[in-house]
Structure 1
Amino acid sequence: MPIDAVSRARLARVLRVARLPAEAAGMPPVLLPSDSNDAWRIGPVFLRICWRGDRGRFAREAAVTRALPSGVPYPEVLDTGSDGDLAWQVTRVVEGVPLATLWRGLSRARQRDAVHQIGQALAALHAHRFPAGVVAELAAPRPVGDTSASAFVGADITPLPLRRTEALLAAARQEGRADHALLDDVAARLGELADADPLADTDPLVGAVTCVHGDAHLANALWKDGRLTALLDFEWVRLGPPDLELEPYLRADVTGFDETEVREVVGWLAESYPALLATPDLVRRLWLYQLATGVRELFLDGSGQPRDNDAQSWLRDIVKGPDHVLRILPSR
């Protein structure tokens, strides 16, 4: 992949202040694919640089990962910091390959075992009682001050409470991100589902206090020799209900799976962690997550031009009803 000059400039800036171990000295930085940050492999460490969205994501990630229970494997954090415009985190390299890249070569039994291990790690995460300071940091309102669309996009993958999605809908209308008839339909659906929003409480410390990973799909799970060696990228960690972990499986662009495969994976998660699917109003909640995330997707291509892009097509499909949700959920 070509090394962008701007990414290289950000790297040079961070390397002047970040603390890397001595064994990384002289190692050539290698730029890695990443959806939301600059990610570099420098010998025995990974360096991630956050340059857009909420720069506080890495601070929350560091606070949570320092206090993880033993049942949630995570790389050792060597340094984290921010200079206002950029935030960074240095972690030690963990042996393993992203499960998503190995998936097709695993036997069905190995696939099931791998998903069971992810489910067990999520159960351990959700059951863990984090220190009060960590909970308070996760509960702090965001975004603060900045009410732009980019601030809401950078706060969380699923823009809930619902007021965040409503703010993005208004911005989408103003910027011409989608045709107004579609946005009207989405707004109407969100109104019908408002009572299903589990994050509607204005005080997160009174409402949901479970710490959820927020992006725990197979590409963020490292696998080696039949064992989950790390659950990566806690940058989207937040307080929320356990079933919010199912959100990535609602999007084919994340999983790369068809509905039959997703249904099987979700079924295996439920085998190892039944509470993940135990919410009585699960279908409506997942549909709400899907719609809210779909509105956020309108802003991810960097263009404000109205056109029939993938994000609009997906919204047109899912606003009709929760059929996709129903098709990927195992029989309960």
Structure 2
Amino acid sequence: MLAILIGLTIGVGLPIQTSINSRLRDSVGSPFVASGVSFTVGTLFLAVMTLLLEHSLWFSPQLFSSQPVWIWLGGLFGVIYLTGNILLFPKLGSVQTVIMPVLGQILMGLLVDDFGWFGSQRNPLTWVRGFGALLVLLGVICTVALSTWLANHHANAETPVTAGLWFWRLAGVFTGMLSATQTAINGHLGTVLQSSLKAALVSFFVGMVALMLIVLLSRTKLQVTTPTGQHNPWWMWIGGLLGALYVLGNVVLVPLVGTGLAVVIVLVGLMAGSLLIDQFGWLGAKRHPMTLVQVVGLVIMIAGVALIRLF
């Protein structure tokens, strides 16, 4: 039960972080700079927490030679996933940008559990767990796609056909698979380092360095402006704290329940958090009251999680 609460909590925090980083992007003018700020804040937060609780930031350098290279790449996969969503949005639209990565996350999570990849404990795929995963995906489709389709249908809006659409859809599935891979890698890294905090810190530090290189190579201008008719709220700088807690929560979660279930539980929390932000217009977001279809989709997702968890 504790694992489920952790997963749901960090899942709810993820869309809140996205909203915060989106507001930061309006002021700094670049999604890469906004993400770089977020990763830097998260890295500093995790470094302070690690020093306070474990009194050291270091680990044995022998791990670099005794452990496989992929164990240090979780943060890089996280950056690729983040950048992928930025590239996918104008090509696929908001609905498919959510659904395609979700499909990749669920698929990779189940594969990691079934084969015991990345040091994960094997949890063979049964037909009940597979059905539960399908229910979660169906719930996502109901929550995101069906409600949007119904709205467009009533408005007589048509979805434009884009050349190479399937390439971007497959790219979305691939980035989702990398996100689930990051979850598995960071979970194993926490076991190797015998510290969830240090594992989360390593992941964030790698992501921070990668984003700094992107900003430097792209020669992005560093600036902070105030959007017309708005002010810069203090909370636009704290997205990295929620991101750090998200990574830390996953590091704790994976050894407890496995990669597949961890991905699914966080996904349910993510969808619930997104609906709450739309419902109440938190953090300056435009209000979009929940519909019955979205509530039904959320219930279906919860049923899918129950099947995977109990069987």
Higher relative contact order (CA 8 A, sep 6+): 2
TM-score, reference length from structure 2: 0.28
TM-score, reference length from structure 1: 0.27
